[in-house]
Amino acid sequence: MKKYKGLRVLVALVAFILAIVGFQANSVKAETPADEQYDIALTLVKMNDFKGWPKGDGQDGYYGQQLDIPDYFGKDATTLDGVCFELHKDSQDGELVQTGLTAQGGQLLFKNLKAGRYAIVVNKERSQADAKTNLLETTPVPLVVDLPVYKADGTWYTNGDNALHVYPKQTIEQNTDKTSYKVVKKWKGTKLKSVTVHLKKNGKTVDSIDLSDSNRWEYTFTNLDRADAQGKDFAYTAEEEVPKNYTATYSKLADGSGLEIINTLTPTTPPHTPIIKTGTLTIYWIVGLAILLIGIGYKFYKSEKY
């Protein structure tokens, strides 16, 4: 019996060692192919401030996947188009690999990259005019990415739909000698995909914005001139391109920072079809004409019979 007891202990010990080895093997990240290529999908997020950031090191559930911007960064977060980003090898002073401008919701794609370290840097001088105004005097901090980036399950981001998503953040600072104007959109009836709102200065359009679910149907125009050269304040307001079958109601925001626009769906009225009602003069004319025609027809009938 002692012999078998010792054997059972030995078998259990071997099984325990194999279990540890197996666990360690599963926890090691898989080897990536040497010729693998990677994409970095960048979205520039515009925020009012950096309070509560960074959330930090994957503890918030972000591991490089695509994010819902208002849900993750806050309802006031939007995106910024026209900003030039450069991709450098190894460091911000390294070889320039690719460059491009953010567009269509602050997006930019760096494609077909090899494994290694990359630094993503903003080039303010090559950014578009509106973007440079928004960037102001900020000094962007390079974003460093080591490819490949692994997921929690040990696989890694590659390209296409499986690209790595990164979200550099930018605050928009309001100059003390400037002003801002906020527009908030609400609906009564079916909500459309988007509407266009124009910012007007002294009655002339100076800027426009498309409001939609992506910006939570509100937007703040920032760094607007307060007054002209003679010191007279500019009058800012907003006007919507009112959708078909809707009416627009404008009212000032409670804090005086801008305007609220409410769209109300107008019920459509079916085409009116005249209906002859009993007792109207028309019915008597029709009945009289019918009797006359019957009489004429009967007269012809009798004459032909005889």
The upper half-sphere exposure of residue 58, i.e. CA atoms within 13 Å in the direction of its Cβ, equals 7
Q: Evaluate whether residue 27 is within a structural domain.
A: no
Q: How far apart are alpha carbons 57 and 62 in whole angstroms?
A: 8
* Residue 88: strand pairing partners: 96, 119
Q: What is the pLDDT of residue 267?
A: 79
Same domain, 56 and 135: yes
Q: What is the pLDDT of residue 35?
A: 87
Same domain, 45 and 164: yes
Same domain, 185 and 141: no
Same domain, 222 and 245: yes
Q: What is the pLDDT of residue 208?
A: 92
Q: For residue 180, which of 238, 140, 130 has the smallest C-alpha distance?
A: 238
Residues with Cβ < 8 Å from 128, sequence gap 6 or more? 81, 82, 83, 101
Q: How many domains, in total, are found in the chain?
A: 2
Quote the domain boundaries for residue 257. Answer: 178-265
Q: Evaluate whether residue 125 is within a structural domain.
A: yes
Q: Evaluate whether residue 189 is within a structural domain.
A: yes
pLDDT averaged per 10 residues in sequence order, the chain, 306 residues = 44 40 45 88 85 63 89 83 94 95 93 96 86 66 91 93 93 76 92 94 93 85 88 94 94 92 83 54 62 65 56
Domain boundary among 171, 206, 240: 171
Same domain, 165 and 195: no
Q: Evaluate whether residue 284 is within a structural domain.
A: no
Q: Evaluate whether residue 12 is within a structural domain.
A: no
Residues with Cβ < 8 Å from 14, sequence gap 6 or more? none
Q: What is the pLDDT of residue 306?
A: 52
3-class secondary structure, 27: helix
Q: Assign residue 208 the CATH number of its domain.
A: 2.60.40.1140
Q: Evaluate whether residue 256 is within a structural domain.
A: yes
Same domain, 118 and 188: no
Q: What is the pLDDT of residue 21?
A: 38
Domain boundary among 171, 201, 233: 171
Same domain, 225 and 254: yes
Domain boundary among 171, 192, 225: 171
Same domain, 127 and 92: yes
Q: What is the pLDDT of residue 17?
A: 37
Residues of 224-263 as b/e, b for ≥16 C-beta within 10 angstroms?
Answer: beeeeeeeeeeebbbbbeeeeebebeeeeeeeeebbbbeb
Which helix (DSSP H) or strand (DSSP E) does residue 20 occupy? helix 2-27
Same domain, 182 and 156: no
Q: How far apart are alpha carbons 291 and 297 in whole angstroms?
A: 10
